[in-house]
């Protein structure tokens, strides 16, 4: 699992696909030279090659030199365009959204195509040799075909960049990727049968005995935790392991990451053994992290409602996509923190958030900075209604509890009468969706209530 995790991390790097394309172009150039020699040196094959695609050494060198210079220029323009997009993302959206464009395979393939085309033409230019037996070449034709392909890729890149620079497409892209992470990491509720939980008294009874606190090997963000491996290890050693952090939390090398009961080895030996089941990196990995997607959308909404940008419609779009993600999450089973071995003994305790935690993570900052914008508050209430309408009672209860938190932060004494009227309508609709109509109370100004 650690190897696959490291391989996935390498493939997410920006240089991975351009490097692969460059190596393939180098090999293809060698094969092209070999094919050229075979087709132009053999009298039988030479008769099958049209004269129009053949050229002498001077023309071939001129064509390949021009192609190499042109592809290098296009590669430079592509780099400049990428930097413009990254600057726009940093200034208008969120620093975290830069990873989405950098790790997008279409962007990497475009750059890889230009790098590969440049290497292909340069290798052909270097290996072009005129001899007494060989005075005509077909390699410029292959280079021209490669150039036409690169031009088509460049047109695609212009279209691709113009789409990515639009905030609506960026929000949609993040939302789609986050929903896919939800479907991948959380199972359907009707497929789960083991839903055991422990009370506080039972948990204290289980944790009796000497506890060892094992810190992380280094500081950083948890990229991967092999919970299944830790469960198997604890079962073999007759341990009880408790994780104080979870992926993708930040850990410090001086703070405990593992708490062990039943272990007797030294702390250094235990740390070395347990470190094999955790991968820690300098920054949060963009894959397998549903919370990271929610945080990106939340930051885009925050940047949109800031006084410098003042674009509430973009914030509303981000809020609606957050609602789409949370609606999908509500239909999934959120795992319990307790893991048991095959004999039914508790072996591993993990940190697992509940649905209310995801609601708070998504909206608490938006609620704070957007409380004076009624359109943002209305968008949050509408989104909560959509989440409640298509989910079960447990999710409805969490949504209603969070809606009360949202209403607490609204300064409805300063709202105009029509704003207050529409806000009450939305809250009533939310109460109906959550089956809390009896607890619904109209929001009124203090002056109106005193009368």
Model confidence at 140: pLDDT above 90: no
- Say if residues 220 and 253 touch (Cβ distance below 8 Å): no
- Tell me how far apart the alpha carbons of residues 163 and 55 are, in angstroms, rounded to a whole number: 41
Q: Is 140 exposed, middle or buried (0-12, 13-18, 19+ CB in 10 A)?
A: buried
Across 23-27, 184-188, 264-268, 310-314, least confident range: 264-268
CA distance 52 to 136: 11
Q: Please tell me whether residue 221 adopts helix, strand or coil conformation.
A: strand
Half-sphere exposure in the Cβ direction for 311 (13 Å, CA)? 15
Q: What is the mean pLDDT of residues 14-41?
A: 85
Mean pLDDT value across the chain: 83
Q: Is the pLDDT of residue 360 over 90?
A: yes
- The length of the chain is 451
Beta bridge partners of 278: 225
- DSSP letter assigned to residue 438: G
Mean pLDDT on 332-361: 87
Least confident of 253-267, 327-341, 342-356: 253-267
User: What pLDDT score does 206 carry?
Assistant: 66
Checking if the pLDDT of 228 tops 80, the result is yes
The CA–CA distances, whole Å, from 86 to 81, 90, 105, 170, 252 equal: 9, 6, 16, 12, 31
Give residue 54's pLDDT.
72
Rounded percentage of the chain residues whose pLDDT exceeds 90: 18
Does the reported pTM lie above 0.75? Answer: yes
- Confidence at residue 131, expressed as pLDDT on a 0 to 100 scale: 57
Assess whether pLDDT exceeds 60 at residue 237. yes
- For residue range 37-82, list pLDDT tens digits in order: 777 666 666 666 676 777 777 888 888 888 888 888 888 888 888 8
Structural contact between residues 439 and 431, judged by C-beta atoms closer than 8 angstroms:
yes
Residue 273 neighbours by CB distance under 10 Å: 15
Give per-residue pLDDT as tens, 211-227: 888 888 889 888 878 88
Query: DSSP code of 334?
Result: P
**Full DSSP string of 228-293:** HHHHHHHHHHT-EEEES--TT-EE-TTSEEEEEES--S-HHHHHHHHGGGEEEESS--SSS-HHHH
Instruction: Please tell me the distance from the alpha carbon of residue 329 to that of residue 188, in angstroms, as a whole number.
Output: 9
pLDDT tens profile 176-199? 989 988 888 888 776 554 545 665
Q: In 10 A of CB 284, how many CB atoms? A: 20
Q: What is the pLDDT of residue 106?
A: 85
Tokens, residue 118:
């440049």
């Amino acid at each position: 699992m650690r190897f696959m995790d490291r391989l996935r991390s390498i493939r997410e790097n920006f240089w991975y696909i351009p490097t692969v394309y460059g190596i393939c172009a180098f090999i293809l150039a060698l094969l092209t030279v070999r094919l050229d020699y075979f087709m132009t040196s053999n009298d039988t094959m030479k008769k099958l090659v049209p004269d129009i695609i053949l050229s002498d050494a001077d023309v071939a060198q001129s064509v390949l030199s021009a192609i190499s210079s042109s592809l290098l220029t296009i590669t430079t323009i592509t780099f400049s365009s990428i930097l413009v997009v990254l600057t726009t993302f940093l200034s208008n959206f969120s620093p975290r959204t830069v990873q989405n464009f950098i790790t997008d395979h279409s962007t990497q393939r475009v750059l890889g195509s230009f790098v590969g085309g440049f290497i292909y033409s340069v290798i052909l230019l270097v290996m072009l040799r005129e001899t007494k037996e060989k005075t005509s070449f077909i390699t410029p034709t292959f280079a021209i075909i490669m150039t036409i392909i690169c031009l088509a890729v460049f047109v695609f890149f212009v279209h691709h960049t113009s789409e990515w620079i639009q905030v609506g497409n960026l929000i949609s892209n993040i939302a789609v990727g986050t929903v896919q992470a939800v479907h991948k990491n959380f199972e359907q509720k009707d497929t789960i049968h083991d839903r055991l939980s422990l009370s506080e008294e039972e948990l204290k009874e289980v944790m009796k005995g000497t506890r060892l606190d094992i810190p992380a090997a280094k500081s950083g963000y948890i990229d991967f935790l092999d919970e299944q491996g830790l469960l198997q290890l604890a079962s073999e050693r007759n341990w009880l392991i408790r994780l104080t952090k979870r992926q993708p939390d930040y850990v410090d090398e001086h703070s405990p990451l593992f708490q062990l009961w039943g272990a007797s080895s030294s702390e250094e030996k235990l740390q070395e053994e347990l470190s094999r089941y955790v991968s820690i990196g300098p920054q949060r990995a963009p894959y397998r992290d549903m919370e990271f997607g929610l945080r990106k959308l939340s930051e885009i909404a925050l940047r949109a409602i800031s006084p410098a940008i003042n674009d509430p419609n973009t914030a509303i779009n981000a809020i609606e996509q957050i609602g789409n993600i949370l609606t999908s999450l509500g239909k999934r089973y959120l795992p319990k923190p307790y893991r048991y071995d095959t004999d039914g003994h508790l072996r591993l305790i993990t940190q697992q958030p509940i649905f209310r935690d995801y609601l708070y993570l998504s909206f608490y900052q938006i609620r704070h900075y957007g409380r004076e914008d009624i359109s943002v508050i209305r968008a949050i209430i509408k989104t909560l209604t959509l989440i409640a309408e298509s989910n079960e009672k447990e999710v409805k209860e969490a949504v209603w509890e969070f809606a009360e938190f949202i209403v607490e932060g609204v300064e409805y004494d300063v709202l105009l009468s029509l704003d207050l009227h529409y806000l009450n309508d939305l809250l009533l609709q939310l109460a109906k969706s959550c089956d809390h109509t009896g607890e619904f109370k109209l929001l009124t100004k203090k002056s109106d209530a005193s009368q």
